[in-house]
Structure 1
Amino acid sequence: MKKSYLFLVLLAALSFSCSNDDKPADEPVVIVPEEGEQPGEEQPAECLYYNGDAILTTQAEVDAFGANHYCGVMGNFYIGSQNGVSNITSLEPLKDIVTATGTGFTFTIKNNPNLVSLEGLHNIANVSKVLIENNASLLNLQGLRALTNFDEYGTLRINNNASLQNLTGLEAITKMRELLVTNNPALISCIGLKNCTEFGQLTISSSPQLATLNGITAATIGDLSLKDLGVASLSVLNGLTEADYISIEFLPNLTTLQGLEGLISVSGVSVRNNAGLTSLYGLQNLTGNVNSLVIEGNNAIVSVEHLLSVTSITNTLNGTNYLGGLTLRNNASLISLNGLQNIEQFSGNLYVTQNNALKNLCALQSILINKTSNSYVSVYDNLNPVTPTDIIAGNCSID
């Protein structure tokens, strides 16, 4: 049975109620922890956990919940309005809480337009999933500075916080399954991520004022997605040695992919709609097989020569369709495909289309000769109007 927490505020008298199949209403769970069992700056001798979902929608409810001195919440923990906006301005009354966790439970701070700081949460060390969303006045995450431990389901999502300037407060985190930082238009710094060495997934998007990735030092990132940022360089990613999928999209100030040289093997790369990108320098150390390679909508790129070490593009079937393959589409300045000639194994979808300056397609010969019989090929609307048959025959370049 889902447990719930509801506040009733009458004048100065505050009362709590919660439903629990196993205990009377209003009775907290009392746990006497062993030494060192629960992290936090201030730990009572008897640790009182709130057992159930705690939903605090007003400042009065925050104050009342804090007056009980709970050290943890064993359920979903929601601070803010679920349907509108809250009047919450301070989380200081929650300073006794050191954990808000449990398999699959989410700690949510949402729709608090007047909340400037997360102080009061500064003793919380253990969480499962965290969502920080639609807090228009929030400046930083300093109130999360004790946060160190996520369980195996651990995710942190930071979305739509109009005034958030940096990620300061996350320095104690060293490993994270998933971090999504999206649509925070005032974000200018990632410094708070400097001690995190591994991400299962890292997404930073829709933050056009973010001009640098300083602070990202992870050596391992499963999926990395950077989209709609003001970033001009990826050089701070030069410590990255392991990644599964890389997506670089809508970074208009980016001119090269320098910083990705440490990557030797990836499953997929997508480089799309980067208006200032002139080359793929940074990918020159990719060797062996890539499952999916997409170069699309980069109007300044003239060459793909930095892909010379890629020798295979293969992927598995999903029903009757391949997932992945090679796409070179709508790159207005791309002249030659030199750099692809060493690809001797190919299975998947091949799209080379709408490249208005593309004269030389000879590097596709090996792909077209060695591709699997069920690979799909589409070559059209390039400056050189050759067909796959022409390319195989050597009629593949124009002056």
Structure 2
Amino acid sequence: MKQKFIWLAASFATVFVTQGCGSKSDKRNAETSGAQISANFDPVNCEGDAFISYNSDLKLEDISGCEVIRGNLYVHYNVGMSDFSGLALLKQVEGDFSILNNEELSSLKGLDKLERVGGDFSISRNPTLPSLEGLANLTSIGNDLFIDGNNQLADVAQLGTLTEIGGSLLIYRSRALSEIKGLGSIQSVQDLVLIENKDLASVELTSLNTIAGDLRIKDNNNLPNVDFLKTVGSIGGSLELTGNIGMTGFIEGGAISSIGGRLDIRDNLNLTSLNGLGGAVGDLAEIVISGNQDLTQVSLAGLTSSAGSVFVSTNDKLVSLDLKGIQTIGGDLDISVNTLLTTADFSALTEVTGQMSIGQNPVLTGTTGFTALTRVGALIIQENPQITALTGLENLATVAGDLKLLLNENLNSIAGLAGVTGEVGGDLEVNGSANLTSIAALSGVTSTKGYVYIVTTGVTSLDGLQNLTGVGTDLELSFNLSLADISQLSNLTTIPGNLKLMGNDADNGGSSLASLSGLNAVTSIGGYLQFVNLEVLTSLSDLAALDSVGGFFELNDNDSLATITDLNLSTVGGEFRVMQNGCLDPATVDTFSAGVTVNSNVRINTDNGLALPCT
């Protein structure tokens, strides 16, 4: 997209002409005083840049004999100027022609013979200009046509003879503009940009077939559709359709076959259909379809890849998502907060380079649309209450980053992950699925670069982690009420981060873990060790090989724990905390702690042993 801002600091009569923004930052910053421009202009030969302003020496009558201005023409900040009657002979401006901030300009009459502007033609912030009357003979603009902020401009029909715009067509903030007619002979433009034209309800571009750059249609509240694109076959850059709250349809009877950049469809609150995009084929830089509250279906089956990310989110009425032709996604894939989404078809997708996230889709029942997927940068499946199984992911072999299954309350099977092998390149977390009784499908995982959390599940054992030889940081097993067997962790020798085992208190189900068998080979813990509410654990003998804990050491509220003397612990890097273990003799704890090098406080609570004698 190109944006232009033409600004005059009156006290210095300084003109800034700036083009380009964002990814197309081709900026010109011509900074010359009006007096200098005027001094450089030769009114006899009509050569140089002519600057006409309320405080410039050069006036319209001084160039009234010019048929061709061989340079730029700036008409800025004139007081009392109502038209261009002094330029009756002017046929061509070889450079840019800028008409800016002329407060009393009410007509372009006087430009009736103007046929060509060789550079940019800019008509901006002329508050009393109602039409473009006076441009009836204009046939060619060498670069951009830029119309911005003319509050009373009601139509542009007077451009009916214009056959060529060599650059972009940009119409911004024209509050009274209700229709765009008169540009029916234009066949191609670089960028087409319509932004914040609040009353715009109709656009006619009947011959337009090519947009070489970007298409941006943004914040035009009364524009009902983009049917004016029905003759456009290709868009070389990005297609952005955002914030058009009155838009209900896309294109009826047309088909855009290719888009070279991004596809961005956002916050069009009443948009129900993307008809006209279904035939688009090839590659995209990125796809964003978000915040379209009435959109019910997305079908982009002809697309084969996205170099960047694909985001489909917060489309409240979206039921069906069809991208079955897409094979690779170079960034992230995010399908989230789509209230009615039941189907997501990505059946040709083999790889997501970034993170694949499926989250907060309350009626989505599964992952069956991903049958070809073999590799992801990360996989996050979160808060999808109707997903019960991960069927469809059976071909997934590599997770280069995080693998997280979070708060999927009815998930009861992860058998679809049985193909995942080797190292998980980030964190491994299964959390908040109380109906999940087995993680056996994770048996191909040999290590993680991040933590391993198994939290608030229904698993009875850690079958599935028997081949785990290393974790990158923490190991946490918490609030798994039925977990009784962790012997499958027997290949672990060190835990670089924290070791946390936590059960519920007795009133909320307690804990089933009576043995720490599986941790027998662990010799060091780099972070803290924390065992809390392990109601039926009686002994720490399975930690006999443990020599050091880098952080704090905490045993808290383990009601059946009767001894800690079977530990051979030599050093604790943080606090030593042993509290509220009802069957643990305080004297034994004192004796044990005295033999451990503790690099912080020793906190032994008097509530230890309150349940003695224990049987």
Q: Distance in 2 between matches of 1:299 and 1:122?
A: 45
Q: 1:134 to 1:289 in 2, by over 3 A?
A: closer
1:69 and 1:303, CA in 2 relative to 1: closer, same or farther beyond 3 A?
closer
**Letter paired with 2:554:** S
Aligned partner of residue 225 in structure 1, secondary structure: strand
| Equivalent residue number for residue 303 of structure 2 | 124
8 A Cα contact 2:241 2:266, kept in partner: no
Moved more, 56-65 or 226-235: 56-65
Instruction: Name which of 386, 396, 400 aligns with 1:218.
Output: 396
8 Å CA contact 2:540, 2:563 repeated in 1: no
Seen in structure 2, the aligned counterparts of structure 1 residues 293 and 14 have a Cα distance that, compared at 3 Å, is farther
- Cα distance change on mapping 1:68 and 1:118 into 2, 3 Å: closer
Report the TM-score, using the length of structure 2 for normalisation.
0.52
- CA shift at 1:326, angstroms? 1.1
Contact 1:56 1:62 in 2 (8 A): no
Question: Which runs of 5 or more residues in structure 1 are unaligned?
Answer: 20-25, 32-43, 315-323
Sequence identity percentage:
25
Query: Is 1:206 matched up with 2:388?
Result: no
Output the CA distance in 2 between the equivalents of 1:375 and 1:30. Answer: 57
Between the aligned partners of 1:138 and 1:124, the Cα distance in structure 2 is: 19
Which of 257, 265, 279 in structure 2 is aligned with 1:79?
A: 265
What is the 5 A alignment of 1:73-152? 73-75=260-262, 77-81=263-267, 86-98=269-281, 101-102=284-285, 106-119=286-299, 121-127=300-306, 128-142=308-322, 144-151=323-330
1:158 alignment partner, SS class: strand
**1:126 and 1:326 mapped to 2: Cα distance?**
42
- After superposition, the C-alpha distances for 1:241-287 in whole angstroms (9 at most, x for unaligned) are 0323310001111112111111222233110111x222111111212
**Alpha-carbon spacing, 1:239–1:50, altered in 2? closer, same or farther (3 Å):** closer
**Which letter does structure 1 place at the counterpart of 2:387?**
L
Amino acid at match of 2:476: V
Distance 2:378 2:361 in 1: 18
How much has 1:172 moved relative to structure 2?
A: 1.4
Q: Secondary structure at the match of 2:332?
A: strand
Q: CA RMSD of the aligned region, Å?
A: 3.5
Structure 1 residue 187, shift from structure 2 partner? 1.0
Give the deviation of 1:339 after TM superposition. 1.4
Q: Is the 8 A contact 1:74 1:101 kept in 2?
A: yes
- In 1, Cα distance between equivalents of 2:173 and 2:295: 20
1:195 aligned onto 2:372: yes
Shift in Å, 1:348: 2.0
Per the TM alignment, residue 97 of structure 1 is displaced from its structure 2 partner at its CA by 3.4
**1:296 Cα offset (Å):** 0.8
Measure, in 2, the Cα distance between the counterparts of 1:360 and 1:131.
50
Contact 2:249 2:274 in 1 (8 A): yes
Structure showing greater relative contact order (alpha-carbon pairs closer than 8 Å, 6 or more residues apart): 1
1:20-35 counterparts in 2 under 5 A? 28-29=211-212
Change (3 A) 1:186 1:219: same
Partner amino acid, structure 2, of 1:300: S
Q: Distance in 2 between matches of 1:30 and 1:166?
A: 33
Larger Rg: 2
Q: Distance in 2 between matches of 1:14 and 1:55?
A: 25
Output the CA distance in 1 between the equivalents of 2:171 and 2:287. Answer: 14
The equivalent of 1:186 in structure 2 is: 363
The separation in 1 between residues aligned to 2:182 and 2:545, in whole angstroms, is 76
- Say whether 1:334 aligns with 2:334: no
What's the offset of the Cα at 1:173? 1.1
Equivalent residue number for residue 454 of structure 2:
271
Q: Which of the residues 351, 354, 357 maps onto 2:536?
A: 357
Confirm whether residue 231 of structure 1 aligns to residue 411 of structure 2: yes
Q: Deviations over 1:331-370 (max 9, x none)?
A: 5222121211111243222111222222122122222x2x
Unaligned runs of at least 5 residues, structure 2: 1-20, 25-169, 184-191, 196-207, 215-230, 505-510, 570-587, 590-613
Q: Distance in 2 between matches of 1:5 and 1:73?
A: 22
Q: Deviations over 1:29-65 (max 9, x none)?
A: 179xxxxxxxxxxxx9984414575536357486369
Change (3 A) 1:132 1:13: farther
Secondary structure of the structure 2 residue equivalent to 1:125: strand
Residues 271-315 of structure 1, C-alpha deviation per residue, up to 9 Å, x if partnerless?
A: 0111x222111111212555321101111212222211212212x
Q: Distance in 2 between matches of 1:45 and 1:107?
A: 20
CA distance in 2, matches of 1:157, 1:30: 27
Alpha-carbon distance in structure 1 between the residues aligned to 2:211 and 2:173: 15
Query: Distance between the aligned counterparts of 2:544 and 2:477, measured in 1?
Result: 19
Query: Residues 14, 260 of structure 1: CA spacing in aligned structure 2 closer, same or farther, 3 A cutoff?
Result: farther
